[in-house]
């Protein structure tokens, strides 16, 4: 019955095109996680966070959860390393401001025109958040000795790396908007879902291998059960 339903769906040209377009965009999204930021010692970075997770370190725990929402590749420092979260953060900030700012509330009440203006400001805010997060992330891995020395001391590398991480998130933001227009479902939600599904196997393995009933810091399964 399910197979028949799927076949019937693909017989509708418009629906089939939307589905294929969405799948194609999500495939592009995943390809970006294979493109690393130049200058970063990827093997040392992976070993560093694996060691942090094994020891129950704070950095490892944070990375474990952040990696789920960024597609499981944040710890590898790819061009999509920041994920779509800066855009979501900016959108939430503007939604909150709409309740306290008369100007934003007025724009919201103007309909599509006001919404387009708020979206434009959200994009600008996203770029700002990306730059701040990129600087913080690159500073952290540089101080941890995870960036090749000849790159870490080069100002041009900093500009290039910050630009690459920022452009990666901006591209994901654009990708989500294209799915909204030409695909099926909410683009940003689908990107988040794809990241969660991709990172879930590694997260489950990490929870299983790191479980230790005698150590409260290694009882990840208990947190999973509570959730």
Residue 110: which CATH number? 1.10.3370.10
189 within a domain of the structure (yes/no): yes
Q: Is 141 part of a structural domain of the chain?
A: yes
7 belongs to a structural domain: no
Q: Residue 150 is part of which domain span? A: 41-222
pTM for the predicted model, two decimal places? 0.80
What is the rounded CA–CA span in Å between residue 104 and residue 95? 9
Q: How many domains does the chain have?
A: 1
**63: its two tokens:** 């990375």
- What pLDDT, in 10s, does the model give residues 105-163? 888 888 888 888 888 999 999 999 999 999 999 999 999 899 998 999 999 999 999 99
CA pseudo-torsion sign 136, 141, 145, 149: negative
Classify residue 13: in a domain, yes or no.
Answer: no
Check residue 90 and give its pLDDT.
93
> What is the structure's pLDDT at 30?
87
What integer pLDDT is reported at residue 87 of this predicted model? 92
| Half-sphere exposure (Cβ direction) of 181: Cα atoms closer than 13 Å | 6
Residue 210 is assigned to a structural domain of this protein: yes
DSSP β-bridge partners for residue 78:
36
Residue ranges of the chain with per-residue pLDDT less than 70: 1-2, 53-76, 199, 201-203, 205-227
Residue 167 domain flag: yes
CA distance 194 to 117: 29
How far apart CA 36 and CA 10 sit, in angstroms, is 36
Assigned domain for 112 exists = yes
What lies within 8 Å, CB to CB, of 118 at 6+ separation is 94, 98, 104, 107, 108
Say whether 190 sits in a helix, a strand or coil: helix
Query: Considering the domain boundaries, does residue 138 fall inside one?
Result: yes
């Amino acid at each position: 019955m399910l197979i028949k339903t799927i076949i019937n769906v693909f017989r509708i040209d418009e629906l089939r095109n939307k589905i294929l377009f969405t799948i194609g965009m999500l495939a592009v999204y995943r390809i970006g996680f294979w493109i690393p930021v130049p200058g970063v010692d990827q093997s040392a970075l992976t070993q560093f966070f694996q060691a942090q997770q094994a020891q129950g370190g704070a950095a490892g725990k944070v990375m474990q959860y952040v990696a789920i929402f960024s597609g499981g590749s944040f710890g590898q420092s790819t061009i999509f390393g920041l994920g779509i979260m800066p855009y979501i953060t900016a959108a939430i900030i503007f939604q909150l401001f709409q309740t306290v700012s008369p100007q934003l509330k007025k724009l919201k009440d103007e309909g599509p025109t006001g919404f387009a203006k708020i979206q434009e400001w959200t994009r600008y805010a996203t770029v700002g958040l990306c730059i701040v997060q990129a600087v913080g992330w690159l500073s952290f891995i540089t101080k941890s000795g995870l960036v090749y020395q000849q790159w870490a001391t080069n100002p041009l590398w900093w500009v290039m790396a910050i630009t690459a991480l920022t452009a990666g998130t901006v591209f994901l933001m654009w990708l989500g908007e294209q799915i909204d227009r030409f695909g099926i479902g909410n683009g940003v939600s689908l990107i988040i879902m794809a990241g969660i599904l991709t990172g879930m196997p590694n997260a489950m393995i990490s929870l299983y291998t790191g479980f230790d009933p005698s150590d409260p810091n290694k009882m990840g399964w208990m947190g999973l059960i509570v959730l």
